[in-house]
Structure 1
Amino acid sequence: MNPSDFDAAAADVAIAHDYLTQRGGAEKVVLALHRAFPSAPVYTTLYEPSLTYPEFGDVDVIPSVINRFGPFRRSHRLALPFLAWASGRVRVPARNTIVSSSGWAHGFRTSGRKIVYCYSPARWLYQPDSYLGTSRPGLKGLALGLLTPFLKRWDKRMAGTATKYFAISTVVQGRIKETYGIDAEVLPAPHSVDMTVPEEPVTLPAITTDEGFYLCISRLLPYKNVGAVIQAFNELGLPLVVVGAGPEEKRLKAAAATNVTMVKNLSDGQMRWLYARCTAVVSASYEDFGLTPIEGATHGKPAVVLRWGGFLDTIRENETGTYFDAPTPESIKDGIERSRRIDWQEPTIRAHADSFTEEHFARRLKEAISELSVR
Structure 2
Amino acid sequence: MKVAFVHDWLVTYRGGEKVLEAMLELFPDAPVFTLFYDKDQMPPSIAERTVYYPKWLNRFKRLRKLWLPLYPSIIESLPLEDYDLIISTSSCVAKGAIPGPRSKHLCYIHSPMRYIWDQRSYYLKPLARFPFVSGIIHTLSTRLRMWDTLSSHRVDQFISNSQFVKERVHKYYGRGSEVIPPPVDVERFQAKGMAAPIKSPYFLAAGAFVSYKRFDLAIEACEAAGLTLVVAGSGPDEARLRKLAGPNTKFMIKPDQQTWQSLMSQAEALIFPGIEDFGIVGIEAISAGTPLIAFRDGGALDFVQPGVTGQFFEQLSKESLQQTLEAFDPKQFDSKAMQDFASGFTKQKFQERIMSQITQLTGASS
The TM-score bracket by the shorter chain reads 0.7 to 0.9
- Unmatched tracts of structure 2, length 5 or more: 192-197
**SS at the partner of 1:327?**
coil
Whole-Å separation in 1 of the counterparts to 2:122 and 2:224: 27
Q: 1:107, 1:155 within 8 Å by CA — same for their partners in 2?
A: yes
How far the C-alpha of 1:360 sits from its partner, in A, is 1.7
Is the counterpart of residue 303 in structure 1 residue 322 in structure 2? no
How far the C-alpha of 1:49 sits from its partner, in A, is 3.6
Whole-Å separation in 1 of the counterparts to 2:308 and 2:36: 41
CA offsets per residue over residues 129-169 of structure 1, 9 Å max, x none? 34415354477755531311221121112110001011111
RMSD over aligned Cα atoms: 2.6
Whole-Å separation in 2 of the counterparts to 1:31 and 1:244: 21
Give the one of 329, 346, 350 matched to 2:335.
346
Whole-Å separation in 1 of the counterparts to 2:68 and 2:204: 32
How far the C-alpha of 1:125 sits from its partner, in A, is 1.2
Quick one: structure 1 residues 212 and 61, their matched pair in 2 at CA, closer, same or farther if it must change by over 3 Å? Answer: farther
Aligned length: 353
How far the C-alpha of 1:197 sits from its partner, in A, is 11
How far the C-alpha of 1:66 sits from its partner, in A, is 4.7
Is the counterpart of residue 180 in structure 1 residue 180 in structure 2? no
Give the one of 305, 318, 326 matched to 2:307.
318
Is the counterpart of residue 273 in structure 1 residue 262 in structure 2? yes
CA offsets per residue over residues 16-59 of structure 1, 9 Å max, x none? 21112234322221222223433332221112245565753333
Give the one of 39, 44, 48 matched to 1:58.
48
Counterpart residue type for residue 87 of structure 1:
I
Is the counterpart of residue 125 in structure 1 residue 116 in structure 2? yes
Which residue does 2:194 correspond to in 1? Answer: none
Whole-Å separation in 2 of the counterparts to 1:225 and 1:337: 19
Whole-Å separation in 2 of the counterparts to 1:339 and 1:64: 51
Is the counterpart of residue 83 in structure 1 residue 76 in structure 2? no
Is the counterpart of residue 20 in structure 1 residue 13 in structure 2? no
Is the counterpart of residue 73 in structure 1 residue 66 in structure 2? no
TM-score w.r.t. length of structure 2 = 0.87
How far the C-alpha of 1:220 sits from its partner, in A, is 2.2
Quick one: structure 1 residues 351 and 170, their matched pair in 2 at CA, closer, same or farther if it must change by over 3 Å? Answer: same
Quick one: structure 1 residues 210 and 184, their matched pair in 2 at CA, closer, same or farther if it must change by over 3 Å? Answer: closer
The 5 Å alignment of 1:29-40 reads 29-40=19-30
Which residue does 1:152 correspond to in 2? Answer: 145
Which residue does 2:210 correspond to in 1? Answer: 221
Is the counterpart of residue 255 in structure 1 residue 248 in structure 2? no
Whole-Å separation in 1 of the counterparts to 2:304 and 2:189: 25
Counterpart residue type for residue 129 of structure 1:
R
How far the C-alpha of 1:353 sits from its partner, in A, is 0.3
CA offsets per residue over residues 202-225 of structure 1, 9 Å max, x none? xxxxxxx99532221232222211
- Unmatched tracts of structure 1, length 5 or more: 1-10, 199-208
Is the counterpart of residue 240 in structure 1 residue 229 in structure 2? yes
Counterpart residue type for residue 116 of structure 1:
C
Q: 2:87, 2:107 within 8 Å by CA — same for their partners in 1?
A: yes
Which residue does 1:8 correspond to in 2? Answer: none
Quick one: structure 1 residues 178 and 197, their matched pair in 2 at CA, closer, same or farther if it must change by over 3 Å? Answer: closer
Quick one: structure 1 residues 27 and 364, their matched pair in 2 at CA, closer, same or farther if it must change by over 3 Å? Answer: same
Q: Between 348-357 and 56-65, report the one with greater CA deviation.
A: 56-65
Q: Between 118-127 and 40-49, report the one with greater CA deviation.
A: 40-49
Whole-Å separation in 2 of the counterparts to 1:83 and 1:244: 29
Residue identity over aligned pairs, in percent, reads: 27
Whole-Å separation in 1 of the counterparts to 2:26 and 2:307: 33
Whole-Å separation in 1 of the counterparts to 2:39 and 2:226: 38
Whole-Å separation in 2 of the counterparts to 1:361 and 1:374: 19
How far the C-alpha of 1:341 sits from its partner, in A, is 5.5
Q: 2:186, 2:346 within 8 Å by CA — same for their partners in 1?
A: no
